[in-house]
Structure 1
Amino acid sequence: MRSISGVLSVSFNQDFGCFACGLDSGFRVFNTDPLKHSYEEKLSGGIAKVEMLFRCNYIALIGGGSTPAFPTNVVVIWDVVNRKEVVRLEMSGDVNGVRLRRDRIVVVLETTVHVFSFTDNPRQLHVFDSSRNPRGICCLCPSSDNSLLAFPSPSSPSAVMCINLGEPDAPSRNIIAHMRPLSAISLNSTGTQIATASEKGTIIRVFDTMTCTVLRELRRGTNPAIIFCLNFSSDSSMLCVSSNHNTVHLFSLNEEKKKKTP
């Protein structure tokens, strides 16, 4: 396999069947098992983030790097079959993140989260306030049975706001997750559990998204760390955590007993 230079980001699709690399001159997509290259698009600039929708031919792109392929306030929906841009969403500020499900496009700005219909001509449906969110922290349940959206709460950067996009006017749920600001969050495949990490990075908590109660509390270590990624296994029996300590922790959620840490 050829080496990849200038990697700006790596992200899985919703079922972990493939992953994409944002590069300083385009992006590439790989199949997970067996591991093999499946698609490449060379562009005139960098792609900071790539968001896939299972194995659908539409991919969301955010420009980035020293020479962005697109303006940093734009989300581009790219058709990998016809190898062209099909939708462009121009926002009022830099885009820090984007999430997809079959019926929605979610765009994350510094202090707001925008929800659009996923159509040929997307229509803005909702705008939610958030805490300052330079990391673009946000997760969207891909299940057809649960349209849960989660992001840092406007009331506190250490709390998670959970909104059911199927009932956007219903009261939102606030999870008080940590003492310090969030650094990462992740929903399981059904949207019934959410894992959270703070900027300290020593404790990972798993919450029930309906009751907002703690289900598990997991210690990653005693030294502070920057958490890059949290991911549940497909059956929610395990949680994977990666950090800037060059380590990957794998926790069994079935065996770990609930415990409280100050």
Structure 2
Amino acid sequence: MTDLVAISFNSKKNCLLCSRKQGFKVFDLSPFQKRFNRKFTEYGIKMIDQLGESNLFAIVRMTNPKKLYIWDDYQSKNLAEITFRQPIRVVRMFIDKLVVCCITEIVFYRFSDLEREKVIKTGRNNPNLFATTSARNNLHTLVVPHTEPGYLLRFVFSKNPSSNHFKTFNQKPINLLQLSQNNKLVSVCTSESNLVRVFECSSGICISQLQAGKKRTTISSMVFQDLGNYIAVVTSRSFLHIFDLPRDLKQLKTKTKEKMGVTFCKIAFQKRKPITSCQIPTIPKMKLLFLSQKITIYSLNGKIYEFKYDPQNKEIISIGKPKQFMK
């Protein structure tokens, strides 16, 4: 057993952040090596986020889930503290903003002086229902559950800010969501089925329905490939599935049909099966990366599992034995 409490990526997805029962550890992902290691004997770390690759961290301790600390690891001291009415579910740091996700609201701060900018009400949040992307370390896109079950709320932070919401499932609460790195696609699923729906963000149109395994399977984790051509899905039966995604989004959006409030493009009515699948070990609480043709699974058991997708032969190949990064 490791002393890991939680694992996550920084906003650039080039560092692995490890919350521990007595401190935290940060690893560079390429090449994989230790970057920070801080031990606190008085308290454990419930969650942590990092500003890019810098020495600044947002920390929530296990002793008080409603209080956020801004920690400077070079000076080994707290720079600020913020207390919230609700327990904190997720925190994200960007050069321009600090975003704190609580149970039913999200609070935005200007990072330079921690001045509160706005608060938005959402559906019930958990760490699997909060997705962001960044541009030059600034917040670009945020996707969270809407107050109405089955709906998503999307915000774009740029020179021309915008927001929209759209329906994904009929009266079923969303259990898991993922945002593509190019901000164009979002994938969602519920806790009741093996079905993943992929939506084009700006229009809210479902462009694909993906069926992962047998009916009595649910989705444990999923991630878009960095190039946006595929999506990897891990199920509760410990199968890794690879699906291909439609390429020409403009053409797909020309013919649409609405069903129970959800807008589908024509090809999305037919559920897609995976290109290829493989059995993997039973892995507790994982984080996935899909870079080019390589899929990496980081697990709360302190191990790294690596796979390669071969598009020519349409197969998944395991790369060596699992590597232990935390003991």
Pairwise same-fold verdict (TM > 0.5): yes
Return the letter of the residue paired with 2:46.
Answer: A
Give the secondary structure class of the aligned counterpart of 1:259: helix
Partner of 1:174: 165
Q: Decide whether aligned partners of structure 1 residues 139 and 9 sit closer, same or farther in structure 2, where only a CA change above 3 A counts.
A: same
Deviation, structure 1 residue 224: 3.5
Give the secondary structure class of the aligned counterpart of 2:192: coil
2:177 to 185, 194, 198: 185
Q: Do 2:217 and 2:237's aligned partners in 1 also have CA atoms closer than 8 Å? A: no
Return the letter of the residue paired with 2:268.
Answer: K
Cα deviation, 1:113-135, whole Å, max 9, x if unaligned, reads 1111112x301111111112244
Q: Do 2:128 and 2:175's aligned partners in 1 also have CA atoms closer than 8 Å? A: no
User: How far, CA to CA, are the matches of 2:106 and 2:216 in structure 1?
Assistant: 32
Q: Do 1:201 and 1:220's aligned partners in 2 also have CA atoms closer than 8 Å? A: no
Q: Do 1:25 and 1:47's aligned partners in 2 also have CA atoms closer than 8 Å? A: yes
Between 71-80 and 134-143, the greater mean CA deviation after superposition? 134-143
Deviation, structure 1 residue 107: 0.8
Deviation, structure 1 residue 60: 1.8
Q: Do 2:152 and 2:166's aligned partners in 1 also have CA atoms closer than 8 Å? A: yes
Cα deviation, 1:235-254, whole Å, max 9, x if unaligned, reads 22232334544444333325
User: How far, CA to CA, are the matches of 1:19 and 1:149 in structure 2?
Assistant: 21
Q: Decide whether aligned partners of structure 1 residues 146 and 52 sit closer, same or farther in structure 2, where only a CA change above 3 A counts.
A: closer
Q: Which ranges of structure 2 fall in alignment gaps of 5 or more residues?
A: 253-266, 272-327
Q: Do 1:146 and 1:190's aligned partners in 2 also have CA atoms closer than 8 Å? A: no
2:83 to 84, 87, 90: 90
Partner of 2:320: none
Partner of 1:35: 32
Give the secondary structure class of the aligned counterpart of 1:142: strand
TM-score norm. by structure 1 comes to: 0.83
Q: Which runs of structure 2 are paired with 1:68-147 in the superposition (5 Å)?
A: 68=63, 71-119=64-112, 121-135=113-127, 137-144=129-136, 147=140
Q: Decide whether aligned partners of structure 1 residues 30 and 243 sit closer, same or farther in structure 2, where only a CA change above 3 A counts.
A: farther
Cα deviation, 1:48-103, whole Å, max 9, x if unaligned, reads 22223331222222223xxx3xx210122222333332232211121111122221
Matched, 1:162 2:154: yes
Q: Which ranges of structure 1 fall in alignment gaps of 5 or more residues?
A: none
Give the secondary structure class of the aligned counterpart of 1:184: strand
Q: Do 1:97 and 1:136's aligned partners in 2 also have CA atoms closer than 8 Å? A: no
Partner of 1:260: 269
User: How far, CA to CA, are the matches of 1:20 and 1:193 in structure 2?
Assistant: 25
Matched, 1:47 2:42: no
User: How far, CA to CA, are the matches of 1:245 and 1:85 in structure 2?
Assistant: 43
1:219 to 195, 211, 218: 211
Give the secondary structure class of the aligned counterpart of 2:12: coil
Partner of 1:200: 192
User: How far, CA to CA, are the matches of 1:105 and 1:164 in structure 2?
Assistant: 15
Partner of 1:14: 11
Return the letter of the residue paired with 2:208.
Answer: R
Q: Decide whether aligned partners of structure 1 residues 97 and 211 sit closer, same or farther in structure 2, where only a CA change above 3 A counts.
A: same
Q: Do 1:109 and 1:136's aligned partners in 2 also have CA atoms closer than 8 Å? A: no
2:144 to 141, 147, 151: 151
Instruction: Between the two structures, name the one with larger relative contact order (CA 8 Å, sep ≥ 6).
Output: 2
Q: Decide whether aligned partners of structure 1 residues 104 and 73 sit closer, same or farther in structure 2, where only a CA change above 3 A counts.
A: same
Give the secondary structure class of the aligned counterpart of 1:147: strand
User: How far, CA to CA, are the matches of 1:235 and 1:136 in structure 2?
Assistant: 22
Partner of 1:5: 2
Q: Do 1:101 and 1:140's aligned partners in 2 also have CA atoms closer than 8 Å? A: no
Deviation, structure 1 residue 168: 9.6
Partner of 2:60: 62
Cα deviation, 1:25-63, whole Å, max 9, x if unaligned, reads 111111223222221111222222222333122222222
Name the count of aligned residue pairs: 250
Q: Quick one: percent identity of the two aligned structures?
A: 18
Q: Do 1:110 and 1:136's aligned partners in 2 also have CA atoms closer than 8 Å? A: no
Q: Decide whether aligned partners of structure 1 residues 186 and 56 sit closer, same or farther in structure 2, where only a CA change above 3 A counts.
A: farther
User: How far, CA to CA, are the matches of 1:104 and 1:18 in structure 2?
Assistant: 19
Partner of 2:315: none
